[in-house]
Amino acid sequence: MEHHRRIPLPGQRIIRSAVAVALCLIVYVLRGHKGIPLYSALAAMQCMQPYTKDMKGVARKRILGTVIGAVWGLLLLVIEMLLGRGELNEYLHYVLVPIMLVLVLYSTVLMHVQEMAYFSGVVFLVITINHFTDANPAIFAFNRLLDTVIGVLVASVVNRVHLPRRKDTKTLYVSGLGNSLLGSDSRLSAYSRVELNRLMDDGIRFTISTVQTQATVRELLPGVRLRYPIITMDGAALYDMGSLEFIRTMPMTDIKAERMMRWMRENSVPFFSNSIEQNLLVIRYADLANDGMKQLFDRKRYSPYRNFVRSDAEFCDHVVYFLILESHEKTEEIYRNLMEQPWIGEYRVVKDISDYAGYSFLKVYDEGCSREAMLHELEKIMGTKNTVTFGGEKDRYDVYIENADRNLLVKELKRRCEPVDFRCWKSVFR
């Protein structure tokens, strides 16, 4: 079924920014049209951040940057008044302004607010160029600072006010990755990233269950702060993204790994062997026998979370799965021959189309390895009694995600884990 992208609706940050600017204009009117509302509006828009904790830092730096520019601007005017005995010399002024600007910008470096250097410079230049002939430029500097503070306070209020919601911090929510959380372009939308982080910051129990390795999850979910162990490699491992540790694994026995490896070599089947060694994912191969294997190697080898080793030795310790990557025709032939073996019931074999044109893969796991089995392990570790799964396959997950391009998973997650409840009025202001 083909899905068509729709034009996205304005997000909360856009709406909140507009509300903050409107409030700044209202405050300007209530103040009797004193000050310059533009500066309040700019400060409010800059402080409107996706995460509340980020807003605090931006607000502090925004005010500090304004103070730096205002103080240096007033200091320059005082120095010029003293040198000119009460009168400003235009030519001297235009010589000193760029010299003092160096001190303004350098001050932001010394105070570790380099990102505010532009705003400090703007405040300084506005005072020293546009208002140096005013009867009392100090009044402008004070009003400029006051306008900034008003914008910061307005942004703080708007960013913190939310509908009252009841938080479900006991249920474990587990999501698939492709065709559910990620869009058709295999990317996570900005909306989903921000909302997932916010929900997890609020204590929602959310994690991932995927066929991908932990290294691929990191690449596909940049900026997502997963707090709970993820199920990786189709249930072969449970991995903590924070501590970088494999908490649980479901490897083959040495006997099973040796038998499978011997069969593949006797039948001239090239493969990658994936094992967990000293808390590292080690991928062994004897040779890159086809273009598909070469493409995979070239794409994956730069990750610090994968360790490729070229070796002819039969290493059978803690192997979690074998990966066979061959042309479609050869894969079908290998699969048929493999499934005819009398011992194949001791393994779980997965066949699918790969991301490499013209190639399919076979993944061979231990018979007891599955995402469902590893989810039970995760439930035991977390002590959870209720679990809700999300995914893009009907009848396999509790919640079927029909179209990953519309952020349906995150929206459904929000609806379930933080429903609007006016009895929870204390949660209005975060």
List phi, psi (to 5°) of 62: -65, -45
List phi, psi (to 5°) of 409: -65, -50
Question: 144: pLDDT confidence band, cut at 50, 70 and 90?
Answer: confident
Sequence-ordered list of residues with C-beta below 8 angstroms from that of 229, at least 6 positions apart, any chain: 207, 238, 239, 240, 241, 247, 378, 381
Q: State whether the Cα torsion 255-260-266-271 is positive or negative.
A: negative
The predicted-structure confidence for 161-212, as pLDDT tens digits, reads as follows: 766 667 888 999 999 887 788 877 788 888 888 888 988 988 899 999 999 9
- What's the distance, CA 149 to chain centroid? 30
For residue 135, pLDDT over 70 is answered with: no
Q: How many CA atoms lie within 13 A of 8 on its CB side?
A: 12
Question: 134: pLDDT confidence band, cut at 50, 70 and 90?
Answer: low
Q: Which domains does the chain have, with CATH numbers?
A: 12-160 (no CATH), 172-249+372-427 (3.40.50.1000), 254-368 (3.30.1240.10)
CA distance 118 to 124: 10
Q: Which DSSP helix (H) or strand (E) runs through 154?
A: helix 137-160
Q: What DSSP string runs through 43-73?
A: HHHHH--SSHHHHHHHHHHHHHHHHHHHHHH
CB 352 within 8 A of CB 360: yes
The predicted-structure confidence for 267-315, as pLDDT tens digits, reads as follows: 999 999 999 988 889 999 999 999 999 999 999 988 888 899 998 777 7
For residue 3, pLDDT over 50 is answered with: no
Q: How many helices (H) and strands (E) does the chain have?
A: 13, 13
